[in-house]
Chain A
C-alpha cells in the first residue's frame, strides 16, 4: 500500500477502496513513527487538518484532481499560512508566515493534504543536510550517511515513504543530489516555470521549486499543478500551466541523447561510472541515438556559482536583522550590536560564511573582478548549452561524483562545493533537469541526471517514465522502512 503510485492511490480513492482520511492517516502514522530515525521533518503537524481532509474528500467525490487526497510535506522554506516556516534556521525558529506560498496554495487547491514541513540545510545552503539548526537528517538507506541537500528532509521523507511526495527547491542541485542519494526521482523545472512567491530566497536568479517522489510520473503530476504564470513573481515565465502527457510506450526511437564522455571518465567511483554507462546503454537499446557533446565552459561553473549564489544570498538575507521578525538578541548596546548579535546568534556557520563571501564579492573594488566575471561565465555556459541543444533533445550525465557520504566525513567546505560540478551548470543556465534512480553501488542508490531544453520538462520526464516502465530501481525501499 505504501509503495504505490499517485495514480494508483487516486484510483483507490475514486473507487472508495480507501478514504482520504484513511490514506492520510496511514502516511501520517508512518511520518510520526519514522521521524525519530530520519529527522526528515522539522515540523509534523499535531494532527491532520480537518478542513484540508474535507476539501480533499469533496474534490475526490466530484471527480476532480488526481492529486486530491494525496498527502505531502513542503520543504520548510515554502511559506505556510499560520504555520511555522523556519528555513532550518534559529533565525526563523518561531516564524509564522501570514500567507501561503503560491506553490502551497496551488497544491492545497488541488486537494493535497499537508502533513508538515521538511528538514533542509539552513536557508537551502548545503549539500548534505548537516547544516540544519534542527539536526542532521539520516539517510534511510544508511542512517550514518547524509541524505544529500539541501532538500535532504524532503528526499529522506519520500525514501522512507513517510509521504508519497514532497516539494523541494533546487539552486545548484538541491533537489537532484538528495534524490540521487536517497534513491528517488526529483525534478527541478526550468527557471521561471514555478512561482517563487512565498519561497524564502537563497539565490533568487537560481532558486526553483520542484518535486521529489518515487517515480517520474508522480513528480510530473505534482509539478504540472505547481506551474503557471504568477503575477506575484516578476521572474515567473509567461507560460500557461504545463500539462504532463504520460508516454504510452518505452520506445525511444528518434530521440537524440547527448553525453559528455569526459564527465563520465572523470568519475572516481567505479560503481557510479558503470551504472551511468548502463543507463545510457539502456536508452540506446530502446532506439535513442547517443551523441557526444561538449560544454567547454562547464568546468568554470562551480567557481562562478560560488560567487553568484553567495552574492545574492548576502543581500537576500539582509532582512533578517532582528528588528521586525526572527531572532532578536536579548540585549544590545546599540543598533550595530543589535544587528551583529542577532545575526551571529541566528545564523549558522555555513550561512554566515556565504554571507561573508557574497558581501565581499559585491564590494567596491571586487565587484568587477568577481561578480561581473562570474556573470560572464554564466552567459558562456548558457551559450554552450544552446549549442548543445541544437544537436540533441536531452543530455544524460551523472548527478554527483559520489555516493551518499558519512555524516561528519567532509569537514572541508570546498570539496563539498566541488561535488556540485554536474548539477550546477544546468542551474546556471536555468534548464529543466531531473535525477532518476538507476541502481545501487555498495548498497547505496545512484542517480542519473537528465537535462532538457528550456521549458521542455515533457521530454526529460517522458524519458524517465519510459525507463521506469521497464525498471524498478525507483520502487526499491530501504528495508528498515518496508
Chain B
C-alpha cells in the first residue's frame, strides 16, 4: 500500500490575467505585446519624477465584469495601494496594486471534478500593474531592461485553498480561463504570459483539518505544467514529512525540463512590501450604474449554455457541449436558430455534420465562413419545408459556399425543389398504375418487393424530387384499392 494514500493535498491558486486593454493601467501608452524593446514606455512607465498615475477606466470595467462572472461582490469603493520593493525592472520602486478594498470581493465558481461538481471559493481579485522585464542573457557584462510590459494591467485572482488534487487545480484554472476569454477581457495567450498562475501547495495527513506549511510555486503558464508541478511538489513534501523533516515556507520555481521545483527564496528572506494606500490616487467610487453596465455585457457561459441547449432545445449533450464551448460556433448556431423555422436538433445535426465537414474541407472555421448565419437559416428552412432532401441540401450548401447565393435561388435555378404537392404526385401515381397493370397485379398478389419498382419509377420521372414520405403514403393508398 502506498503511503501517498494517507496524505491529502491542499492547493490554492493565484492566477494573473493580463487584461486585453488598448493602453496600460495608469498611463495612456499602448500595451500591445511583442513591440521592440522600450518602444512603449511613457514618462510614467519609466518612473520619471513628477509623473502621476491615472486609472484606465477600461481596466476597471474589465475587472468588474470578471467579478460579476464569478458571482463576486463588487465594493462601493476600491483603493489602490503601493507594494514597495527595489528591482531594476520596477521603475518607480513600487508596484501599484491593491491590498485592502480590492475591486473584486468574495466570489465562487463551479468546476467539474472526477467526483462531480465542486464549488471553489474565490477570496478576491485585484487590479495591479505588471513590472518590466529583465533580460539577463543578451549581453555579457550587463542585464538589459525592457519596460514595454511595465504598467500593463493585470488582475490577480486568488482562490481559497480548496483544491485537493492537481486535476482539480487544472479544472479550476480552465474554468477561470474560459471565463476571461468568453468575457473578452483577456486574449488567453499562454505563451505570451497573458494567463499565468502561482500555486500554493501543502500536504496534510488525511483527516487533519489544520493546514500544513505551504510552498508557493511561481509562474506556471501551461495547464500541463501546473498539473505536473503540483504533483511533483506534493511528492517532495510528503517525502520530507515521512522522513521526519518539516516543510519550509518558501517560494519555489518549477523547471519543466527537469520536472522538478527548486527553492527561490524562503519566508525569512521575503520582502516586507510596506503596503500603504497610494496617495497619488483618491479612493475610486464604483457606482451601481457602472456595475449594471458591466452586468449587461456578461455573456452566457458554456456550462449554462449546455444546460439550456439540452433542456430547452432538446440537443444531445455531446452536440450541446461542442457548440457551447466554441464561442463563435454557438453565436452562429443561435443566430441561425432565431432566423429559421427548423427545429434546434436538425440545425445542430446539420451544423456539426454537413456544415462542419465543409468547413474542414475548406480549412476554415465558423468565424470566417463564407456563409453567414442568416443564409444558413434559409437553407434549413428549405430542408424543413420538405422542398429538398437532406442529400440535396448538402449540394445546395456547397453551391452557397461557392456562389454566395441564397438556398432558395440555388434550388430554383437547379430545379431541385421536391414535389410535395399531393395532387401532382397523385396524378403521376394514377398514370403509373394505369400504365403498369402487370406490376400492380403482382404487388396485389403479395409481391411486396414490387413497391420499390413504383417508387423508383416516380423518382426517375421526377428526377428524385418527389417527397419520399408523401409518395410512399400515396402509393400505399392507391395500390391497396
Contacts and interface: CB of A to CB of B under 8 A. Distances in A.
Interface of A: 77-79, 85, 87, 92, 95, 97-99, 101, 196-201, 203-205, 231-235, 311-312, 314-315, 317-321, 323-325, 335, 339, 359, 362-364, 367, 371
Nearest to B284: A234
B476 interface: no
Contacts of B145: 323
Contact of A234 (B82, B274, B281): B281
B52 A234 contact: yes
Given A205-B279, A234-B282, A311-B276, A200 B54 contact: no
Contact of B52 (A95, A233, A312, A367): A233
A428 B75 CA distance: 27
Nearest to A207: B279
B91 interface: yes
Contacts of B274: 314-315, 359, 362-364, 367
A134 to B, nearest CB: 17
Nearest to A95: B49
A8 to B, nearest CB: 34
Interface stretch (B40-48, B194-202, B225-233, B249-257): B40-48
Given A99-B50, A231-B54, A235-B52, 9 more contacts: A85-B49, A98-B48, A99-B48, A197-B50, A197-B52, A234-B55, A235-B280, A315-B84, A315-B94
Given A339-B86, A364-B272, A319 B279 contact: no
B276 A362 contact: yes
Question: In the complex, which range does the number of interface residues on chain B fall in?
Answer: 20 to 34
Given A234-B281, A315-B274, A335 B92 contact: no
Interface string B23-50: 0000000000000000000010011111
26 contacts: A85-B50, A92-B49, A97-B49, A197-B50, A198-B51, A201-B49, A201-B50, A233-B52, A233-B54, A234-B54, A234-B55, A312-B279, A314-B274, A315-B82, A315-B276, A318-B84, A318-B92, A319-B91, A319-B93, A323-B88, A323-B145, A325-B48, A335-B88, A362-B275, A363-B272, A364-B272
Interface string B264-286: 00000000101110011110000
B386 interface: no
B90 to A, nearest CB: 9
Contacts of A231: 54
Nearest to A338: B88
Contacts of A101: 50
Nearest to A312: B279
Interface in B39-96: 43, 46-55, 82, 84, 86, 88, 91-94
A197 B55 CA distance: 15
A466 B29 CA distance: 49
Contacts of B55: 234
B49 A318 contact: no
A200 B88 contact: no
A474 B88 CA distance: 50
A235 B48 contact: no
A92 B54 CA distance: 25
Most buried by B among A79, A231, A315: A315
Contacts of A359: 274
Contacts of B50: 77-79, 85, 97, 99, 101, 197-201
Contact of B48 (A97, A205, A311, A323): A97
Nearest to A78: B50
CB-based closest 4 A-B pairs:
A318-B93, A204-B279, A205-B279, A362-B274
A77 B280 CA distance: 17
Contacts of B53: 234
B148 to A, nearest CB: 15
Most buried by A among B86, B145, B275: B86
Given A235-B280, A321-B93, A362 B84 contact: yes
Contacts of B282: 234-235
Contacts of A197: 50-52
Contacts of B52: 196-197, 232-235
Nearest to A343: B86
B248 to A, nearest CB: 19
A204 B282 CA distance: 11
Contact of A204 (B46, B47, B280): B280
B140 to A, nearest CB: 16
Most buried by B among A204, A205, A319, A335: A319
Given A196-B52, A324-B46, A235 B91 contact: no
A200 B49 contact: yes
Nearest to A91: B49
A318 B94 contact: yes
A77 B50 CA distance: 8
A1 B80 CA distance: 52
Interface in B377-402: none
A471 B211 CA distance: 76
A234 B84 CA distance: 20
Contacts of B43: 98-99
Contacts of A363: 272, 274
Contacts of B92: 318-319
Contact of B281 (A97, A235, A323): A235
Given A196-B52, A234-B55, A235-B281, A319 B47 contact: yes
A16 B46 CA distance: 47
Nearest to B43: A99
Nearest to B276: A362
A231 B53 CA distance: 10
B93 A234 contact: no
A315 B281 contact: no
Contacts of B93: 315, 317-319, 321
